Amino acid sequence: MFNHYPDWAGEFARKYLSRTINQFILHGNVHDLVPLKRESTTEFVRLKSFLSEEFFGARDYVIFYDRSSGIYFRDQESRKDFNQALAGRDSLLGTEYADKLPKDPVRVFSLLEQYFRVRIDSNKSIALIVDYAETIIPMNEAGSTGSEDRTSMVYLSRWAHDPMFLAADFTTVLITENLADLNKTVVQNPYTDSIRINIPNQQQRAQFVSNELKEEQFQALSEVSKKVVAQQTAGLNFINIRSVLSNARENKEKITHRRLSEAKKELIESEAYGLLEFVDTDYTLDNVAGHTKVKQHLRQAVQALKNGRRDVLPMGYLVCGPVGTGKTFLVTCFSNEVGIPMVKLKNFRSQWQGVTEGNLEKILSLLKAMAPVAVMIDEADAYLGDRDAGGDSGVSSRVFSQIATFMSDTQNRGRILWFLMTARPDLMPVDLKRQGRAEEHLALFAPHTKEERIELFEAMKKKTGLDLTEEYVPKVIEQGLKSFSGADMEAALTRAKFRAAAQDQERVTPEILDIALNDFLPPTYPEEIELQTLSAVIECTSKELLPERYREMDRGEILSKIDELKFRIG
């Protein structure tokens, strides 16, 4: 019956025709175009145009309202009828609203309610569309809700369950990008239903590209096929894609893999309010020193993804180990090999009520639309919070619940791959570390054998661009006279380059390198490092991935030592 409608609109129509609900919240991709199938073509129209002219096209009156524009109408007939009703009210009550309509929600809703009741009595059909609903009934704790917000909620709640409105052909539509931005009293009202508008899928994106550019035009503007364009624009909405195509058309810039990738990153970071950052690197796992077993394991995941075996992949990884062991570098290098985009979550928390949950809702929606995608969260023990966190009106616990629920959605297996990194996995809540969320726990450790130390030296020599006058491996590294983590090694080799530059030398001699390495004193926190190391050992979910020296250690003794170290560190 609703085949020419997008899925969300079909759901909307079915729910309305059940005649039990007349108030709906549309949220998600609400600022995009809506595909509307005709007999032989597909049109792409703005959401409000779709609602007023197509979805509610048979209604007698369609009225719009937002704080900026105030009340406005689908057509002149609706406006004329409303003005006539308002003129009658003005003459009766001595007001002058016909000359200048109010814009604040309290007075607007008061006028509208009187108008609705009169027209419903005359068997007229009405639709009210409230845009930017979060500015009318914003998310607030009950005690901090202002009088204007409370009055607006009363009007909306009354219209949703008043028998007169329910029996009439009357609908209220609230439009907002993030459901979390709306007051929960309205969102959770049993007389109100919410419908998500998703970001376009690959088939819809391909259809849109074909609709925007005829075949000859597309061939002239693109070096890649329409299928590739549709695949590469995952996470973008129709308006974003139109901007990519328009740029190619107006500026005569060919659409290439690189241009698509750059445009996608720029547009998605903008859509996410700068709260998502794409992770780019020229390094691969070949540039990671040591961690041989972990690299093998990750490469098996890469192969599974490339073979389309997403069903065998874990929901996510917990990557732990002492500071300086290269957790972030390892995951970044993995992102270059895996062939799917990797993003890093930036700080989405806000001091303003409701904004944090809204930011997170937006981010999670984008991640789902971008899939397949890998997500990196550094310092996860501090970043993700805890279900029992307090002191912030419950924001942290709600954020934790949103992320935990999203991570455990099995539909995302192999589509959204999580990497949670921490030096203190013992501080992370069990809810996130359990099977079904961060299922694989990988542990990284400082180099222990001669081969590992030399491999780390060679890798950091390449990374820092250290140019030696001759092939040379320092004794302090070869014999393990000092312990260097990856971060320590990088810092020490950079100091060697500094010493050479101070002596006006382009290249580093073995003598200068020895002096720099012997002089280097890394900040030492032995008990903290030991605690981080043992926590990583006890956290690792695969005995095979542990270095040999840790495999046969008694777990009871390790736990006792961890408790002792925690007590001593305080």
CA separation for the pair 426, 558 (Å, rounded): 13
Q: Which pLDDT value is given to residue 393?
A: 60
- Asked if residue 562 is part of any domain, the answer here is yes
- Asked if residue 1 is part of any domain, the answer here is no
Residue from 512, 517, 520 nearest 470 by CA: 512
* Element of type H or E holding 319: strand 316-320
Q: What are the angstrom distances between the C-alpha of 468 and each of 506, 507, 514?
A: 9, 6, 12
CA separation for the pair 551, 534 (Å, rounded): 12
State the DSSP code for 138: B
Encode 72-82: b = buried (16+ Cβ within 10 Å), e = exposed. ebbeeebeebb
pLDDT in tens, 160-202: 999 999 999 999 999 999 998 898 889 998 989 999 999 999 9
Task: Examine the domain organization and report whether 412 and 516 are in the same domain.
Answer: no
**Contact present, 148 and 104 (Cβ < 8 Å):** yes
Q: What would the two tokens of residue 186 be?
A: 């309205």
Task: Examine the domain organization and report whether 418 and 538 are in the same domain.
Answer: no
Domain end, chosen from 133, 167, 197, is at 197
CATH of the domain at 208: 1.10.8
Task: Examine the domain organization and report whether 567 and 504 are in the same domain.
Answer: yes
Task: Examine the domain organization and report whether 307 and 385 are in the same domain.
Answer: yes
* CB neighbour list of residue 508: distance below 8 Å, 6 or more residues apart: 466, 467, 468, 469, 496, 497, 499, 500
Task: Examine the domain organization and report whether 250 and 294 are in the same domain.
Answer: no
* CB neighbour list of residue 342: distance below 8 Å, 6 or more residues apart: 278, 279, 331, 332, 334, 335, 373, 374, 375, 376
Domain end, chosen from 144, 172, 197, is at 197
Q: Are strands 342-345 and 373-377 parallel, antiparallel or unpaired?
A: parallel
Task: Examine the domain organization and report whether 424 and 335 are in the same domain.
Answer: yes
Q: Which pLDDT value is given to residue 153?
A: 92
Domain count, the chain: 4
Q: What would the two tokens of residue 435 be?
A: 């099977």
Q: Is the peptide bond before 429 cis (omega within 30 degrees of 0)?
A: no
Encode 538-561: b = buried (16+ Cβ within 10 Å), e = exposed. bbbbeeebbbeebeeeeeeebeeb
- Cβ neighbours around 220 below 10 Å, total: 13
CA separation for the pair 305, 342 (Å, rounded): 14
Q: Which pLDDT value is given to residue 391?
A: 54
CA separation for the pair 353, 212 (Å, rounded): 41
Q: Are strands 416-422 and 316-320 parallel, antiparallel or unpaired?
A: parallel
Task: Examine the domain organization and report whether 415 and 551 are in the same domain.
Answer: no
* Element of type H or E holding 144: none
| Residue 248 β-bridge partners | none
- Asked if residue 382 is part of any domain, the answer here is yes
Q: What would the two tokens of residue 536 be?
A: 């990583």
CATH of the domain at 154: 3.40.50
Query: Phi and psi (nearest 5°) for 470?
Result: -160, 160
* CB neighbour list of residue 87: distance below 8 Å, 6 or more residues apart: 98
* CB neighbour list of residue 180: distance below 8 Å, 6 or more residues apart: 139, 354, 357, 358, 360, 361
Q: What are the angstrom distances between the C-alpha of 30 and each of 8, 198, 261, 265, 447?
A: 11, 9, 24, 21, 52
Task: Examine the domain organization and report whether 160 and 116 are in the same domain.
Answer: yes
Q: Which pLDDT value is given to residue 109?
A: 95
* DSSP letter for each residue of 250-303: HH-PPB-HHHHHHHHHHHHHHHTTT-EEE---S--GGGS-S-HHHHHHHHHHHH
**Contact present, 89 and 114 (Cβ < 8 Å):** yes
* CB neighbour list of residue 270: distance below 8 Å, 6 or more residues apart: none
Q: Which pLDDT value is given to residue 476?
A: 92
Instruction: Please say whether the dihedral angle defined by the alpha carbons of residues 213, 217, 221 and 225, taken in this order, is positive or negative.
Output: positive
| Inter-helix orientation angle 510-519/486-502, to 10° | 130
pTM above 0.85, yes or no: no
- Asked if residue 165 is part of any domain, the answer here is yes
Q: Which pLDDT value is given to residue 1?
A: 56
Task: Examine the domain organization and report whether 505 and 549 are in the same domain.
Answer: yes
* Element of type H or E holding 65: strand 61-66
* CB neighbour list of residue 248: distance below 8 Å, 6 or more residues apart: 221, 222, 254, 255, 259
CA separation for the pair 204, 367 (Å, rounded): 18
Q: What would the two tokens of residue 12 be?
A: 């909307």
CA separation for the pair 350, 413 (Å, rounded): 30
Task: Examine the domain organization and report whether 230 and 376 are in the same domain.
Answer: no
Task: Examine the domain organization and report whether 438 and 469 are in the same domain.
Answer: no
- Asked if residue 411 is part of any domain, the answer here is yes
Residue from 13, 25, 535, 16 nearest 322 by CA: 535
- Asked if residue 280 is part of any domain, the answer here is no
State the DSSP code for 347: -
Q: What would the two tokens of residue 153 be?
A: 């909620």
Domain end, chosen from 131, 165, 197, is at 197
Task: Examine the domain organization and report whether 44 and 193 are in the same domain.
Answer: yes
**Contact present, 16 and 192 (Cβ < 8 Å):** no
- Per-residue pLDDT tens digits of the chain, which is 570 residues long: 566 789 999 999 999 888 889 999 999 999 999 998 887 788 899 999 999 999 999 999 999 999 999 999 999 988 999 988 888 777 777 677 767 888 999 999 999 999 999 999 999 999 999 999 999 999 876 555 678 889 999 999 999 999 999 999 999 999 999 998 898 889 998 989 999 999 999 999 999 999 998 888 899 899 999 999 998 899 999 999 999 999 888 888 889 988 888 888 888 888 887 788 898 888 889 888 888 899 999 999 999 988 888 889 999 999 999 988 889 899 999 988 888 888 998 877 765 656 777 888 888 888 988 888 999 998 888 777 666 655 556 667 777 888 888 998 989 998 999 999 999 998 888 888 888 888 899 999 888 888 888 989 998 898 899 999 999 999 999 988 888 888 889 999 999 999 999 999 999 999 999 999 999 987 667 889 889 999 999 999 999 988 888 888 888 999 999 999 988 887
- Report how far apart the first and last C-alpha atoms of the chain are (Å, whole number): 67
Q: What would the two tokens of residue 217 be?
A: 């035009």
Give the full edge-to-edge strand order of the sheet including 126-130: 70-73, 61-66, 126-130, 170-176, 23-28, 192-197
- Asked if residue 549 is part of any domain, the answer here is yes
* Domain carrying residue 400: 285-443
- Asked if residue 279 is part of any domain, the answer here is no
